[in-house]
Amino acid sequence: MPTSATPRGKTANLLFGDQADFSTPAPVDYISTPFYSENLGESEPLDTDPLLGTARTNNRDQTAPAPGLVTMGGDIVVPMDVNHLPYWLTMLFGAPVTTGAGPYEHVFTSGGEVLPYRTIEIEKRAGAAFFQNIGMLASGFSFDSARAGGFRQATVNLVGRNQAKLGATGGGVPAAQLALSQIPASKGLLRIDSVDAAHFLGGSFNYQNNPSPDEALNGTEYLSGYTLDEDAACSGSKRVRYINDSYYDIMTAGDPVALELEFAISANAKILFAMPSVRFERASFAPISGPGGLEAEFNWRAEQTDSAAMLTVTVTNQIAAY
């Protein structure tokens, strides 16, 4: 007999829309954007329920469980794309301040206290199963800045309310997807105090919104939402080839420096992560492990100042608004 078609990731589509409140799915029509992978899901563990005085066969085996608390969340790996990344940055920081007349500069700033809840729909079986993830909030964002083949990717961490399986899309008719403008993973630039950093080999970048679940009772088994009472955090690591003492001197001085990470296709198509005040942790620098060259890895942490937010992300492209 012939082979049969099976569900594959290549048939998946991702649509999203912003919600008016935490529990109500976004109205149509949604927006389409590409992604590499996702693992969004709703979980409900089973808790032990040692209820006494019920019928039982023996005195050793456990009895029927009780429902645990429902949790919702997961990660989506997305392209570091000049046109599409602002969709995810809007979840992380709120709406940008946009200037220009083409090219446009979209400036996202950390520290916002009002962030959108979003419905994210994943089509998992072509035209047959649509998983609607409701009340999604961006809790974190991370990427690696090392030189590599392919295109650069980022991971968006999400928390939410619940997941519903639909037989047809709830996203209506999305507009035509924006053109791809992906940044090669071979490109990247680090600046320290506005000076290009030499011998930079890459490192990690991690931003966390640190949302807290709102456990207020609401008549359902789900959360009532999330609060942003905890401080947001931005940190990472940098790996460098040891040529001279300049990085060691920065690390041991303990004074804050301005740090910038830029990923550019051209002057009119780029993404800039700017942190005005970054401190490096003191640690063992450039340990010798053999006759080869010396490398060092040092951790850093960003902070706000009396005049600037902890992090701004500026996206330059030809899209007028998000």
Sign, CA dihedral 207-145-90-276, equals positive
Reported confidence tier of residue 294, pLDDT bands at 50, 70, 90: low
Domain that holds residue 294: 9-44+68-317
Per-residue pLDDT reduced to its tens digit, 252-271: 777 899 999 999 999 999 99
Note whether residue 61 is domain-resident. no
More confident residue, 109 or 2: 109
Can you tell me the distance from the alpha carbon of 275 to that of 318, in angstroms, rounded to the nearest whole number? 24
Note whether residue 59 is domain-resident. no
Can you tell me the distance from the alpha carbon of 12 to that of 157, in angstroms, rounded to the nearest whole number? 19
**Is the separation of the CB atoms in 321 and 98 below 8 Å?**
yes
Round the average pLDDT of the chain to a whole number and report it. Answer: 91
Can you tell me the distance from the alpha carbon of 110 to that of 89, in angstroms, rounded to the nearest whole number? 10
- The pLDDT score that the predictor gives to residue 198 is 72
Note whether residue 63 is domain-resident. no
Reported confidence tier of residue 80, pLDDT bands at 50, 70, 90: very high
Note whether residue 103 is domain-resident. yes
Can you tell me the distance from the alpha carbon of 93 to that of 80, in angstroms, rounded to the nearest whole number? 16
Reported confidence tier of residue 219, pLDDT bands at 50, 70, 90: very high
Can you tell me the distance from the alpha carbon of 109 to that of 313, in angstroms, rounded to the nearest whole number? 7
Report which DSSP code applies to 62. -
Per-residue pLDDT reduced to its tens digit, 170-213: 999 999 999 999 999 999 999 999 888 777 888 999 999 999 99
b or e along 47-65 (b: 16 or more beta carbons within 10 Å of the residue's beta carbon)?
eeeeeeeeeeeeeeeeeee
Q: How many residues does the chain have?
A: 322
Note whether residue 58 is domain-resident. no
Note whether residue 83 is domain-resident. yes
The total domain count for the chain is 1
b or e along 116-126 (b: 16 or more beta carbons within 10 Å of the residue's beta carbon)?
bbbbbbbbbee
Residue 143 scores a pLDDT above 60: yes
CB atoms within 10 A of CB 84: 23
Can you tell me the distance from the alpha carbon of 191 to that of 273, in angstroms, rounded to the nearest whole number? 10
Per-residue pLDDT reduced to its tens digit, 129-139: 899 999 999 99
% of the chain with per-residue pLDDT over 70 = 90
Can you tell me the distance from the alpha carbon of 57 to that of 119, in angstroms, rounded to the nearest whole number? 47
Note whether residue 4 is domain-resident. no
Note whether residue 145 is domain-resident. yes
